[in-house]
Amino acid sequence: MTGPLAGIRVLDAATLAAGPLVATWLGEFGAEVIKVEQPDGGDPLRQWGAQRDGVGLMWKSLGRNKKSVTLNLRVPEGREMLRALARRCDVLVLNLRPSTLARWELDYDRLKPENPGLVMLHVTGFGAGGPKSDRPGFGTLGEAMSGFAHLTGQPDGPPTLPSFMLADGVAALTASYAVMMALYHRDVHGADGQLIDVNLIEPLARLIEQPVLTYDQLGEVAGRTGNRWDISAPRNTYRTKDGHWLAMSGSAPTVALRALRAVGRPELTEDPRFAEAQQRLKHAAEIDRIMADWIGDRTLDEAMAVFEEAEVAAAPVYNAEQLLADPQLAARGVYPSISDPELGSMRVQAPVPRFSDTPGAVHHLGPALGEHTDEVYRELLGLDDQRLAELRAGKII
């Protein structure tokens, strides 16, 4: 493996989906990632979502660059082997409930004396401490409790949940930079490793902080506004004459005024009701009608041609087919086709962000369950064929 994280070894013993995502991103940039899975089925992510011939497509992407080993953590011998692996790793990722972590003797206080430099990431639904710390938690609960669902949807409609792993993804992004800070603190300042506690509520709630600030200072509870947002106008999705959708943002005042000129209403840029930012928000509904009427009389291509010429912040609302066909993304190679022994090949998104000198890479897609079991246990634990056979007979691996 090459990349900025070459030499870092990550033990991914987490499941669905924030913890494994962290390990995926570290693996894209050179870390050696060992994925520990239960022998009887592996990470539930393998069965999650769309399948092709019994192969989980999301697993293929999220399992990229990882080595898969099997290990039964429900038995003491399996847990001892995990501790032995952790002694030889820089980062350990777990998402067990706190009580299970302690009962299985996999908590940080138990592991630290054996490997003082270990950075342990513990991802849970609710976080350590507090009355809910030991409850099972999934991203759906984080999306509900963070305030996201309350704000999402039409004003007269129900709270709306995303159809993708939003809370897990935001938690994973937060945890990824946390792991890097802990490694930096260890390696640059000569410190020990440390425990990182991340849950599925707080990282997403941090992005939705404005309603909390508004309530704290003004006593107002924000509600759903559909695709509009009370900090900018125009801001919405608009249907074109040929049945497509277009999104616009007027977050910057200069862009908002350009949009008014582009749709043939330059006089409004001199009207204080529309020229001044706070006044423009008070008249957002009127701006919306102007934009909707103008866009509704044009095809997507016609509207986008005008907006691009006028440097208005507008974009088509893409589905997956359109996303893959976009010339900007194609020019940047955002969705390379990666060969795979089970699928032949599959297009997945390339690593983000881009580095000039040490770019990330997708070396292979998610491996078969236990594909690297013998290799890893021989190399790291010194096990021979006889011992591996005994462990298989005992259903430890």
pTM above 0.85, yes or no: yes
Positions in the chain short of pLDDT 50: none
| Longest Cα–Cα distance in the chain | 84
Interhelix angle 284-296/253-262, nearest 10 degrees: 40
Give the sheet arrangement for strand 91-94, strand by strand.
Answer: 66-70, 32-37, 9-12, 91-94, 119-124, 195-199
The DSSP element (H or E) to which 169 belongs, if any, is helix 166-189
Handedness of CA 200, 202, 203, 205 (dihedral sign): positive
Tokens at 316, concatenated:
């088509």
Say what the pLDDT of residue 208 is.
94
Domains in the chain (CATH in brackets) are 9-206+332-393 (3.40.50.10540), 235-239+245-316 (3.30.1540)
Helices (H), 226-266: 253-262
Tokens at 185, concatenated:
């603190």
Percentage of residues in the chain having pLDDT higher than 90: 89
Say what the pLDDT of residue 232 is.
79
Say what the pLDDT of residue 251 is.
82
Say what the pLDDT of residue 56 is.
96
Say what the pLDDT of residue 361 is.
97
pLDDT digits (tens, 9 = 90+) for 55-89: 999 999 999 999 999 999 999 999 999 999 999 99
Task: Tell me the catalytic residues.
Answer: 168
DSSP string across 52-103: ETTEEHHHHHHTTTEEEEE--TTSHHHHHHHHHHHTT-SEEEE---HHHHHH
DSSP string across 271-325: SHHHHSHHHHHHTHHHHHHHHHHHHHTS-HHHHHHHHHHTT--EEE---HHHHHH
- Residue whose token pair is 């930079």: 177
